[in-house]
Each structure stands twice: as C-alpha cells, then as structure tokens.
Amino acid sequence: MTCKQITQETFDAAVRENIIDFEMEPEEALREAIEQFVSQGVDLHNIVKTVVRNSYENDEERQSHLVLEALETLQKSTESSLVDQMADSLATFTEQCKLDFANRYLAAQKGAYPVILSICNLWQGDKKKLLCALTALSALTEGQPDLLDSEGKELLISLLQDKREELAQTLVVVRILRHCCVKHEQNRQDLVKDGILSLLTKVIKQNLEETELVKEACAALRVMTFDDDVRVPFGHAHEHARMIVLEHNGLKVITDAAKAHLENLGVLSELCATLSRLAVRNEYCQDIVDLGGLNLMLNLLAGSLDNQELVKQVLNALRAIAGNDDVKDAISASGGIQLTILALNRHVGSSQVCEQGCAALSMLALRKPENCRIIMENGGVPVVLQAMKAHPNETNLQKQACMVLRNLVSRTRDFSSAILDLGGETLISQAMVTHRDCEDAAKAALRDLGCKVELRELWTGKKGGLSH
C-alpha cells in the first residue's frame, strides 16, 4: 500500500495550530502532530520534524527551518559576493544537511542544488573554499541522485581529471559521484560514457596508500554495477562490471588494493564487496583466484571471525566466485567450507551473515557431491537449521537455507535421513507456508528429501490453442 505524502508547510501548519489554537508547549505540539499524521498513514521520512523557529512567539514574524535560513543567507551573500558570510552560511547549511534526509530534501525542494553548484563553479580557483562547497554538495546529494544535472556531471568529471594531487578534494568528488549513482541508472550510464570507470580505477591505482580514498573509490565502482533503479526495466549492471574487469583491469586493481591494506578491516570489507559484484562471469571467478583473491579472502575469514561485517562480505564474495565449478574445488581444497561453517556458527545471531553463509554453502554444494560430504561431516546441517530457527521471518535467509538442504541431497540421497532426523522437514515446511518467495525452493528441498509435497502443475498445454 502506498503511503500518503504531505508537504513541509502542511506539517508546520499543524504544529503551529497545536501551539496557537490548543496552547500546547512546542515539544508537545510537535509530538502531537507526528502522532496525528502517522495514525493517518502519512509517510514522514521527508519531513523535518522540528518546531519552526519563532512560530509560537509572534504570529506575524516570518518563520523558517535552520537549513532554509542558511540557504537564504547563502543566496543573499552569493548575490552580494560576501565571501566570509558565504563560507559561514555554507558550513551551517552543510551541518543541517548532514543531520538527516528530511533536511536535505527540504533544501532541495527550495532550490539548494543550483545555488551550491554555482558556488562550486565560483570557487574553482581556491582549493580550500572549493572543498567546502563540494562538501556541501556531497551532503545535499546523499539520497537525492535526481539532483545531478549535466552541468554538475561536467564539473565533477573535470575535477576528477585534474592532474594536481588534491586528495581531500578527490575524496569528496568521488563521494558525490557515488551518491548520484545510487538508484539512478541514467546517471550511471551517462558517467560511464564520460569515462568515470577509468577515472575511478586510476584513483585507486595512484593512491594505494590512501585508506579512505581507496575505500570510497571502490564503493563508487561497486555502485556502477548496481541494478537498483526501479524506474528502469533493464540496466547496464552486467555491462559495467564487464567493462571494469576487461577494459580497466579492475580485478587486479582491487586485489592489489586489498594487499596494500591487510590491516584495515573496513577497507578489506569494501574491497570484498566490490569483488563480489565483479564476479559475473565464469572466467572472472577464476581470475580472482589466480590473482590471489581466494587466499586473501580465506585468510581474512580465518583471522577475523569475530568481525561481523567483514565475515558477511567475505562470505558474499565466496558465494560469488563459487559460481565457477573449478573455483568450488579450490575453495574446498583450501578449507573454505569448514571456515564458512565456522563463521556461520559464530554469527548465527546475525540474519545477514546467516543469509550469506547459507548462500555460499548452497553454491559450494551445487553439483559437487564431495563438497556435500564435507558440509555434512563438519556440522553444516545443524548450523543451517539453527539459522532457520533463529530467523524465521527472514525470507532470503529461509530461501537460501532451503537451497542448501536441497543441494546436499539432490545427488546424494543418503544424506536425507540425517537432515530429516534433525527436523529439516518441519523447518522447510514452515518456510514454505510463511514466505511465498520460498515456495519453489522449499518444495524442491522436500521433494529431494523424499517428503510428501504437492507439486502444482502450472500449465499442461491442453484446452485449446493460441489465437491468431
């Protein structure tokens, strides 16, 4: 069901009415307005939920939220070329935008983007001032990729092409580009045409020792492989991943970066996440192994089992490269199956780790009876079933768990009794009933386990032909 929307002005008027007409204190008036709109099914995520300044002191006095006051001062100082005042207003504006999405949304609705972009263009000759303006642009564009226009793209690309070593500036520019590519397919395609993939990989290669910059550039590369814009039926995610690998040597760039940051788990987590997005073809999976990526991942997993975020990303990367059957064998030979089970057992309370762990085991078991034996002998089934028990409402986890159990017995039916003895049938049946998206995977698992299951016939090809 689509949530109702209201304007900021409507919300502010309701708060004001509570203060003036019902003589409520400001905080009580605000709380009452929020409860009122929420009870009516109104989505307030884009509403600034603060009392407008002076709204209860003087009915005639002009009112405004802090972010809009900063924007108005910024506009006036820009028109009057009051540089010092402009810098102060810019800092206040940035601070307000960083508070939450609602402030950023309100500012954008009141025309903040062209103002900030004009200041960026105005201050291109001053490194310090330009950095402040770009920081404001970064804060404004987070969660609002639609703001970016052709002028903004041209400015950002030109700044990234700048030969001078301005690390802080490059970091902010890359961050803006990432913000503007999340959930925006057209921006991604336009920027790829403008050479963004080459620029991002170059940033990583030329700044291997710069922790934050490497992390940010890898995150931006990863976003270029997303397919998350619901407004577009077909994106270029696979094509962009192919270009990063083949045209820009992306796999080597990222594995080299990982080797340069073996002590920084935050960077390594981001690099593993990026590698998993690039393993879209059989040969790319093998290339990651040949470049030392597999050994790197397994060493990370063994040495950082308590780091939940890193474990999740490594398991995700292992799942991705295990799409190649030869890589499955390499993972198994290196003890990767045992490590995966150990990680899953260690973080059984995390639904995300459980989902990625089950997905990795499912892929490793697919078409590989020997891997299935290793999973069975190392306690894989009990921990998968425990994950299902711990997170009954997580659809994707339940689906991946059903797929693991199905793959374990699809070619080796002898394992069925062990899974059934541990209560597998009940948990699979519960997943099938609770989650519609699990139905196919659950039925396949029950069927291969030898359980009674009703397989619906979708179409028999009978009862008439096709009309012309």
* Within-domain flag for 225: no
Cα 87 versus chain centre, distance = 33
- Full residue range of the structural domain in which residue 40 is found: 8-63
| pLDDT interval class at 2 (50, 70, 90) | low
Lowest-pLDDT range of 102-111, 120-129, 187-196: 120-129
Look at residue 443 and tell me whether its pLDDT is greater than 80: yes
Predicted local confidence at residue 225, as pLDDT: 98
Predicted local confidence at residue 85, as pLDDT: 82
Look at residue 363 and tell me whether its pLDDT is greater than 50: yes
What is the C-alpha to C-alpha distance for residues 136 and 58, in angstroms, rounded to an integer? 32
* Within-domain flag for 412: no
* Within-domain flag for 346: no
pLDDT digits (tens, 9 = 90+) for 402-436: 999 999 999 999 999 999 999 999 999 999 999 99
| pLDDT interval class at 461 (50, 70, 90) | low
Query: What is the rounded average pLDDT of the residues 367-388?
Result: 97
In the chain, % of residues over pLDDT 70: 94
* Within-domain flag for 23: yes
pLDDT digits (tens, 9 = 90+) for 10-38: 999 999 999 999 999 999 999 999 999 99
Residues 321, 301: contact at Cβ < 8 Å?
no
| pLDDT interval class at 56 (50, 70, 90) | very low
* Within-domain flag for 398: no
Query: What is the rounded average pLDDT of the residues 279-304?
Result: 97
Predicted local confidence at residue 55, as pLDDT: 46
Predicted local confidence at residue 163, as pLDDT: 74
* Within-domain flag for 46: yes
* Within-domain flag for 18: yes
Query: What is the rounded average pLDDT of the residues 58-72?
Result: 76
**Nearest-10 Cα torsion for 47, 49, 52, 56:** 130
Question: Model's pTM, two decimal places?
Answer: 0.91
User: Which of 451, 371, 452, 437 has the alpha carbon at shortest distance from 401?
Assistant: 437
Integer angstrom CA distances of residue 436 from 358, 394, 397, 432, 433: 19, 12, 13, 7, 7
pLDDT digits (tens, 9 = 90+) for 239-256: 999 999 999 999 999 999
Predicted local confidence at residue 52, as pLDDT: 86
What is the C-alpha to C-alpha distance for residues 8 and 27, in angstroms, rounded to an integer? 17
What is the C-alpha to C-alpha distance for residues 250 and 252, in angstroms, rounded to an integer? 6
pLDDT digits (tens, 9 = 90+) for 213-223: 999 999 999 99
Predicted local confidence at residue 54, as pLDDT: 60
Query: What is the rounded average pLDDT of the residues 449-465?
Result: 69
Predicted local confidence at residue 105, as pLDDT: 98
Question: How many separate domains does the chain show?
Answer: 1
**Continuous segment of H or E residues that includes residue 111:** none
Predicted local confidence at residue 84, as pLDDT: 78
Averaged pLDDT score across all residues of the chain: 93
Report residue 82: phi and psi, to 5°.
-90, 90
Look at residue 61 and tell me whether its pLDDT is greater than 90: no
> Amino acid letter at 239?
E
* Within-domain flag for 460: no
